[in-house]
A and B are shown apart, each in its own frame.
Chain A
Amino acid sequence: MGEVRIGVYICHCGKNIGGVINPSRVAEFASKLPNVVVARDYMYMCSSPGQMLIEEDIKRHNLNRVIVAACSPRMHEPTFQGVLKKAGLNPWLLEMVNIREHVTWVHEDVPDKAEEKAKELVYAAVMRAQHLYEITIHRLPVVKSALVIGGGIAGIRAALDLANAGIKVYLVEKKQSIGGKMAQLDKTFPTLDCSKCILTPLMVDVARHPNITIYAYSEVVDVSGSAGDFKVKVRLKPTYVDWSKCTGCGYCTERCPARAPREFDEGLGTRKAIYFDFPQAVPRRPVIDPKYCLWFTKGICRACEKLCPVGAIDFNQKDRYIELNVGAIIVATGYELYDMTKLREYGYGKYKNVITGLQLERLSDADGPTKGKIVRLSDGKEPETVAIVLCAGSRDEKHVRYCCRFGCAAAIKHVYYVKHSVPEAKVFVLYTDIRAFGKGYEEFYQRLRGMDDVYFIRGRPAEIFEAKDGSLIFDVFDSNTGQLLSIKADLVVLESAVVPPKDWESLRRMLKISCDPGGFALELHPKLRPFETTADGIFLAGAIQGPKDIPDTVAHAAAAAAAAIGFLSKGEVESTPYLAVVNEDLCSGCGLCASVCPFDAIEIKEEGGRRIAKVNVIRCKGCGACAATCPSGAMQQNYFTDTQIVSEVSALAGGAK
């Protein structure tokens, strides 16, 4: 850029700076520093006349560096960058000196020292400014489509919001129907709405929406590219039914002779080998389970093939792969229940009458294995006494440390199920704390707590034993009354802890997003940006960010969709100004930079017979870890090069000359 010509501007900020130090003296000091062409002070630099003053100076004195000594750059850096831009200068030729927050506001009691410090900081900025250079912001166009991974209530809500905003949405669901956990619930707390009645219309909306394509029974196997332009490979698992021919009539499922445990009923009921997930499945297309199908296991039958009126059965189907090109990704993979067999003292899996809360949902559902009757699994009898155990695995150092956030309200709802199905039943609720935090939850709790024969006991059961008749016996210490109680129950319901899905870890690595100690996806900021990730263009919806109940999940999903819409409608993605840049002449291709990059933004590529580090300008977030690691100085960080930092450090260490 040739000769360095610096303008220095010292702001009074009214009395905030000017009341402690003398800005004119600082300006006069600055005017004698190397390559400083002009130095001035002004009452309010950020005001319109202040900005104009700088703009005119840039033109009149042909300035190519501007130093503003005023408030924190976190406050007005963008303001003054705008001034440079307006005057035709690259905004990164600006250097701000923080003489308010870091000087006059904290050293008011020693004004002489404060002024000396202000001068030294200005001196260091002048030394650093010698090495500033123009920075190019890279812009890439955004592909205006989105991938939603997971078709539970979070994915459904996000997909609908995106599609309604005119964005093409691909919804990938690993099961054969969308609907997720909410479809398995009988009712929802605290309103006791029928869960399916509020969910299935949305499922139909998704299927009918012209902007949404559902890939059910599918999974994401590879993600490449970056924000605005992701390439996603999806595996369509073999269903052995040609879904494009199938009409969903269901003849095949009626005549299939093979039976298997029904996953949708949490293993309680049975289904055929060719089956729908549940009657309201979307898409309503069956799948053949080769583990149980007689053709796959014994080489006989093929009844479905003979019966199908449209010839949709295809026993030779193989994995198929498709590639999607999307600008944004919404992760809505939801949660799983913690494996209750790990809580050996409760006997789940060993004792028939110990069930999970989700299994109770299936018993209570009119469409479930018992047509909505709550019974003991050992003998089908109505239970006289039911014990509901909260925090099964949650808030427990041996299992899961965090709270599941819906167990309490679910347990209260389960009290209702039991009392509704068997009004004379006794219900014991064994809790750690009742956290009825949501809207209407406390009222719901008080209502159910006041019912006859419902006992809330603050304590966790000791080991559970099974009596000969299948009922369950255990002791529990009630910490409210200080009594040790002995309880005999016909049915024990465990409100399970919540964990991320088993296959989440591989997807998380594909997406290159981090996780919290519980394994859930890490949000960009726990309070201000809970639905964004450190990876641009990738958003979080629902329980994959952490356990959530339905209202929170829906709110979170809608927020994620809104953030994705905002991101996509901008039309292009911008690189960070603080980009890592490689001096290819110095790079030896050792790859240390790539190994420390938290965003996988650096690749070592073969070029002209040698290995060179290449930076993905959109992935790079500008932390500078690579620059600090590079042994040859080939990797530098824009606005924070070794030379820029060292010249500032050296000036501050040595003091003003």
Chain B
Amino acid sequence: MSETIELIDKYVVKYGRTREALMPLLQAIVEEKNYLTRDDMAEIATRLNISAADVYGTASFYAFLDLEKRGKYVIRVCKSIIAEMKGKKEITKTLENVLKIKVGETTADGMFTLLETNDIGWSDKEPSMLINHTPYTDLTPDKVIQIITEYRNRH
């Protein structure tokens, strides 16, 4: 909790206390820990002098402002029609196997969360996915395994 307050205070200095600061604030918290908690939103509401419900209503609108606990690395597999045509299903299955979780879940070690998302802007290089902000394109099952291994080896 006190960590959250410190974090929010830091960003309030940067973005201010107006309503316009809300999105950058929420994004900054998500950038740090990949999701928003009830306490985060309540604290932000207090800082901006708006209601906690307003903060929640706004955050829940945006797909990338997660309100559920997420792993250190959030994987978002593109599920556009082009991605489907180019083998997205296999990519998701590979990820599920490698990570031993289903779409929507987080690994027990809190390292990875596997999600699907709408078009991420790489239809020329599908299948594709984002891991946090980084796009990975022209995916194959082998490539996916390699990418995950690399992420695991970072620790």
Is B one of A's binding partners?
no
Chain A residues with CB under 8 Å of chain B are none
